[in-house]
Amino acid sequence: MRMMKFPKRYLIVILTFICTSVCYIERVGFSIAYTFAADGAGVNQSSKGKILSAFYYGYACSQVPGGWVAQRIGGRKVLLLSFLLWSMTCALVPPNPNLVLTLVVARLLVGVAQGFIFPSIHTVLAQWVPPHERSRSVSLTTSGMYLGAAAGMLFLPSLVKYQGPQSVFLAEAALGAMWSLLWFTYATDPPRSEHPKATAAGFGESLLPIKGGQKFKVENGGNTVRTSTKIPWKRILISLPVWAIVVNNFTFHYALYVLMNWLPTYFELGLKLSLQEMGSSKMMPYLNMFIFSNIGGMLADHFVTKRILSLTNTRKFLNTVGFIVASLALMAIPVFRTSNGAVLCSSVALGFLALGRAGFAVNHMDIAPRYAGIVMGVSNTAGTLAGIIGVDLSGKLLEAARAIDSDLSSAESWKMVFFIPGFLCIFSSVVFLLFATGERIFD
């Protein structure tokens, strides 16, 4: 009987949390497994950057289409198909770093498949979660990324060392298949009961796709009328609040992807540390993200429900605090030349970036609950471009630094790798302060 009283929306949030965890186990896992194989084959840093960034090209291409498809046929179905596609592709990835074309195509396919996931998640959460629970629900869901990354950093280096790179790919595919079974079994669309409060608040069945390109809307008097589902593309693309989200999404993912893909290399080459010998400390940056992401979500909902701050000021406050502290920590990483110092700085940087997600990352559903997946697709395209640019640029910067420091062990070799995302954090926090809003601007 107690299980029957467990709200279905909580189960949906938990499943999306597991979803993002598995996705980031895959991303961290490929970086670790490929780096292990590439270093053994003598692949240079620039070439490694190209392979590592291939995922983001596919990911960028499918963000907006992912939001559009989720809007048309429902995020639940799209999420399942996307997971099955990347899991099957991952199972077939060869561990040989000399098969460059094969690796590039495989990473592009995984990127395309995973590109549909986050717009679909935002569409599902906009349908299921009422506004006063959105900050902590989205924060919990996205914190799965960081817990997954932490778990990957903790367990996968040993798996690679003792079982080889292929074992990582197969383990990731198995996790993807298991999640797909859970989602297929337990996930549903919200019921189509015509509930005036849900419709007025901008969630529930009012956001579900309806055949024939139309949907029902419940007015104050309780009558239902047909409304068009035409997507306001022009208004979305010229909206300053949308661009405030886009800029911050770009910066967040630039910093995240640079650290996710190059922090293992920094530990091994910059600090001469073995990932296997670092033990659990190497997972601390991502574990900190998990903790701070949920703190940010709870603080945001507390500020709003207790009317301590308006929704707009809540988003701006958390976004600004998160990004400014993160900028200082990012620029301090190459200054500290010990493992504890590097772990501390990267943990603070990623933790406060995660806190900042309670500002910009939930803002999609504030300003456009009906088009949350599409706005998420637009902003996440920018975030994906950040991965392409940041990961590849960092590889080129390190390759250029070899002319002065052949083994990349000096702080100067890594300075620009971490200073660029630090400066971007300052710039994007100013943009969000100037142009963001918590008001609903798309009906």
Q: pLDDT tens digits for 176-216?
A: 999 999 999 999 887 754 444 444 445 444 444 544 444 44
HEC string for 193-262: CCCHHHHHHCCHHHHCCCCCCEEEEECCCCCEEEEECCCCHHHHHHCHHHHHHHHHHHHHHHHHHHHHHH
Whether the per-residue pLDDT at 3 is higher than 60: the answer is no
Q: What are 81-110's pLDDT values in tens digits?
A: 999 998 998 888 877 888 888 888 998 999
| pLDDT range class, residue 229, cuts 50, 70, 90 | low
Q: Determine the pLDDT at residue 192.
A: 57
Same fold, 1-189 and 232-442: yes
Average pLDDT (24-38) is 88
Enclosing H/E stretch for 383: helix 372-401
Q: What are 247-257's pLDDT values in tens digits?
A: 999 999 999 88
Chain-centre distance for alpha carbon 332: 24
Average pLDDT (110-136) is 86
Q: Determine the pLDDT at residue 56.
A: 80
**Domain range summary for the chain, segments of one domain joined by +:** 1-189, 232-442
Q: Determine the pLDDT at residue 218.
A: 42
Tell me the range of 38-52, 296-310, 400-414 where mean pLDDT is highest.
Answer: 296-310
Q: What are 349-390's pLDDT values in tens digits?
A: 999 999 999 999 889 888 988 887 788 888 988 988 887 888
Note the CATH number of domain 1-189.
1.20.1250.20
Q: Determine the pLDDT at residue 349.
A: 95
Amino acid of residue 51: I
| pLDDT range class, residue 423, cuts 50, 70, 90 | very high
DSSP string, 91-137: HT----TT-HHHHHHHHHHHHHHHHTHHHHHHHHHHHHS-GGGHHHH
pTM of structure: 0.76
215 close to 229: Cβ distance less than 8 angstroms = yes
| pLDDT range class, residue 68, cuts 50, 70, 90 | confident
| pLDDT range class, residue 319, cuts 50, 70, 90 | very high
Q: Determine the pLDDT at residue 176.
A: 93
Q: Determine the pLDDT at residue 18.
A: 95
Whether the per-residue pLDDT at 118 is higher than 80: the answer is yes
Least reliable range by pLDDT among 47-61, 70-84, 274-288, 306-320: 274-288
Q: Determine the pLDDT at residue 224.
A: 43
Angle between helices 63-73 and 117-128 in degrees, nearest 10: 40
Share of the chain above pLDDT 70, in %: 88
Q: Determine the pLDDT at residue 96.
A: 81
Whether the per-residue pLDDT at 227 is higher than 90: the answer is no
Q: Determine the pLDDT at residue 206.
A: 44
- The domain made up of 232-442 is a member of CATH 1.20.1250.20: yes
